Amino acid sequence: MIRCQDLIERIEERYPKVYACDWDNVGLLAGDREQEIRTVYIALDATDAAIDGALKAGADVLLTHHPMIFGSIKSVTTDDYVGRRLVRLIRENVSYYAMHTNYDVMGMAELAASRLDLRDPFVLEEVFDGEGIGRVGSLPSPMTLKECAELVKERFHLPNVKVFGDLNKIVRIAALSPGAGKSMAKPAFLAGADVLITGDIDHHTGIDMDDCGMAIIDAGHYGIEHIFIEDLKGFVETNFPKLTVYTEAVRQPFTVL
């Protein structure tokens, strides 16, 4: 028999919670640690669609990157969307586990850097004990900003990216911070990056960094982090070959017309 706690222990051995940022909320957010599990469903977010998929698959555990619950909640009712989702999971006896910045630090950063073949990557911003968010390294070869943007689109299978900077500029050193990277702009600049590859960049951050001489490629929050889904599928299958693992299909959460 495989318990929910057995899966949790293996996850936290590989991605310890101590590497999560102070503001984060990771771990078992709903459910029973002693529950026997046979099927796991993996998604980036615990959306209604992800919960639909988990229930259709007969999953005992929903495993996501982003936590559905960030701040404290005073009630769990169907009066709001978070409550409705939690009630559905609890009614159907589906345990819910989230692994966010601890995975960013101990998995996502290195995995994303390898997708771009960054050479000699080092941590962009330390979180704990030498490990941290993002990576900085040399691109496979000097290239124009436009070529770098095309490389990002190719390696992360994206339909588009947003670029701040001169497309003909030659870039050599790239900083990479999957997810929301506004707070990583200054550290990337101070680290000597020619370009920051991240997501959720606002207007002022984009134009200000361009004026400072650092370009930004905004690949979207989902655009890079969707690699979590396939990576965790492999992790669970390797460590628990008797479990059945389903994953949410990768699809961009918005459309650019």
Nearby residues of 214 by Cβ (< 8 Å), 6 or more positions away: 165, 185, 188, 189, 193, 194, 195, 196
pLDDT the model gives residue 71: 85
The answer to which of 64-73, 88-97, 140-149 has the lowest mean pLDDT is 64-73
Structure tokens of 125?
């911003």
Structure tokens of 53?
């998929």
Per DSSP, 156 falls in state T
The model's pLDDT over 37-48, given as tens digits with 9 standing for 90+, comes to 999 999 999 999
**Averaged pLDDT for residues 3-20:** 98
User: What share of the chain in percent tops pLDDT 70?
Assistant: 100
Rounded to whole angstroms, how far apart are CA atoms 208 and 59? 46
Rounded to whole angstroms, how far apart are CA atoms 253 and 221? 10
Q: What ranges make up the beta strands (E) of 57-94?
A: 61-64
Rounded to whole angstroms, how far apart are CA atoms 118 and 112? 9
The model's pLDDT over 127-180, given as tens digits with 9 standing for 90+, comes to 999 999 999 999 999 999 999 999 999 999 999 999 999 999 999 999 999 999
User: What share of the chain in percent tops pLDDT 90?
Assistant: 98
Per DSSP, 114 falls in state H
**Averaged pLDDT for residues 109-127:** 97
Structure tokens of 212?
């400072």
Q: Which of 199, 219, 231 is nearest to 156 (CA)?
A: 219
Rounded to whole angstroms, how far apart are CA atoms 174 and 189? 10
Burial of 141 (0-12, 13-18, 19+ CB in 10 A): exposed
Burial of 57 (0-12, 13-18, 19+ CB in 10 A): middle
**Averaged pLDDT for residues 187-200:** 98
Q: Which of 97, 142, 102 is nearest to 119 (CA)?
A: 142
Query: Is the full-model pTM beyond 0.85?
Result: yes
Residue 71: other Cβ atoms inside 10 A: 6
pLDDT the model gives residue 72: 84
Confidence of residue 67 (pLDDT cuts 50, 70, 90): very high
Rounded to whole angstroms, how far apart are CA atoms 102 and 127? 9
pLDDT the model gives residue 211: 98
